[in-house]
Amino acid sequence: MHAELPLSGITVISCEQAVAAPFASRQLADLGARVIKIERPGNGDFARGYDTTVNGMASHFVWLNRNKESLSLDLKHPEGKKILKDLVAEADVFIQNFAPGAAERLGFSAEELRGMNDRLIYASISGYGPDGPYKNAKAYDALVQAEAGLVSVTGTEDHPAKTGISTADISAGMYTYSGILTALFNRERTGEGATLQISLFDSLVEWMGYPLYFTHGGGTRPTRAGTSHAAIAPYGAFTCGDGTQIMLAIQNEREWKSFATHVLGRDDMVTDDRFDRAAHRYAHRDELQTIIEGVFADFTGAHCDELLETAKVAHSRQRDMTEIADHPQLVERERWQDVGSPVGPIPMLVPPVGMSGVEPRMDPIPDVGDHTDTILGDLGFSPEKVAELHREGAV
């Protein structure tokens, strides 16, 4: 056990699959909570089969499931139901992202489980919430991105796009995580558990705050501008002569003056009435783009970085995913650590929040049902009974 970790002593039972619920429970596990992941006997969480790119394991599953124990249960089998309820009776947190209505049909509603354990924090993750006209709608990440308007503000005017990561799932997972932490804190004061309802749609609509309020208040959505900005120039990726892409986001007059003078070598552009203030630069952004691209064509990426650093102009590299693992900021700060798995050690990023006096928990990724026999033994099942449950397909 990780006695030094903040959530040591907290037990989480998670009926989870795919992304949102596993992402939430992994954050809790990283902080020391004991997370018992309930999986179907045999194939387990279907995210295990998304791909085979990480030494034969799925990249999604590797990302989301370190530090957990896997218990295989058939939740339609009477013995499987009983085992789950026995675990929940002593647990602190229960997480589920079943299909709409499935928890109730299986006998695992918030009312039933919290009736057994009034200190239980019950977190239910759904696509669109427990009521309303969309409550039974399928809610895969891309579908919710479209429904919540994210696709409408991403990409270019000619080509709207979803984001390249599971943004709806991740947002719901993070709100589930923070909601559970809040409920645990509140329980310390009141002694009472709580029922939490989190939906992918509500979570992502909250993240749509700027374009949502911009559009709702003004009547038009922000322009889809790719890596550029809907109101600021120069803003976006510019290509150097060696192919390096430099990202600029010049947002004030001090940086513009320094950029024009020391990087472009064009003092005249500071006072040119096409470029002398932000609104003028945006109105003449195509001309500005052409000038910058012409200058950058004579630079290497390294020389451009040096000029921008000297001029104190904010910038970055637009990097391909093949470059990120070896990013100097990750390497120098030792942000990778090996984690055990059924296929051997796998390098994984340590948790993004560092806490003084706390070492990050980096325990193995489980195979399906890796901990079934141990957990059942802890519940008082004899080896003979455990073997019988295996034969019956209950576990």
Residue with tokens 């991105």: 145
Distance CA 108, CA 237 (A): 50
CB–CB of 204/151 below 8 Å?
Answer: no
Hey, what domains does the chain have and what are their CATH numbers? Answer: 11-209+333-392 (3.40.50.10540), 235-317 (3.30.1540.10)
* Structure token pair of residue 383: 């080896």
Distance CA 242, CA 93 (A): 53
| Bridge partners (DSSP) listed for residue 337 | 348
Sign of torsion over alpha carbons 383, 384, 385, 390:
positive
- The predicted pLDDT at position 156 comes to 87
Q: Tell me the pLDDT tens digit for each residue of 96-146.
A: 999 999 999 999 999 999 999 999 999 999 999 999 999 998 889 999 999
| Bridge partners (DSSP) listed for residue 225 | 156
Q: What is the pTM of this model?
A: 0.90
Q: Three-state DSSP class for 94?
A: strand
- The predicted pLDDT at position 256 comes to 95
Q: Which of 223, 233, 237, 208 is nearest to 156 (CA)?
A: 223
* Structure token pair of residue 242: 């060696």
Distance CA 274, CA 297 (A): 22
Q: Tell me the pLDDT tens digit for each residue of 221-240.
A: 888 878 778 778 899 999 99
284 is catalytic: no
Distance CA 165, CA 149 (A): 15
List of the chain residues with pLDDT < 50: 1-3
Distance CA 68, CA 71 (A): 10
Residue 270: what are its φ and ψ, rounded to 5°?
A: -70, -35
- The predicted pLDDT at position 233 comes to 87
Q: Which of 193, 303, 174, 313 is nearest to 253 (CA)?
A: 313
Contact partners, residue 369, CB within 8 Å, separation at least 6: 39, 41, 44, 70, 71, 72, 395
- The predicted pLDDT at position 2 comes to 44
Distance CA 151, CA 163 (A): 7
Residue type, 279: A
Catalytic residue among 2, 77, 216, 229: 229
Sheet with 315-317: strands ordered across? 235-239, 245-249, 315-317
CB–CB of 313/246 below 8 Å?
Answer: no
* Structure token pair of residue 349: 């990023």
Sheet with 68-72: strands ordered across? 68-72, 34-39, 11-15, 93-96, 121-126, 194-199
Residue type, 177: Y
Residue with tokens 């000619």: 158
Distance CA 97, CA 198 (A): 10
Distance CA 121, CA 195 (A): 6
Count Cβ atoms below 10 Å from residue 287 Cβ, excluding itself: 14
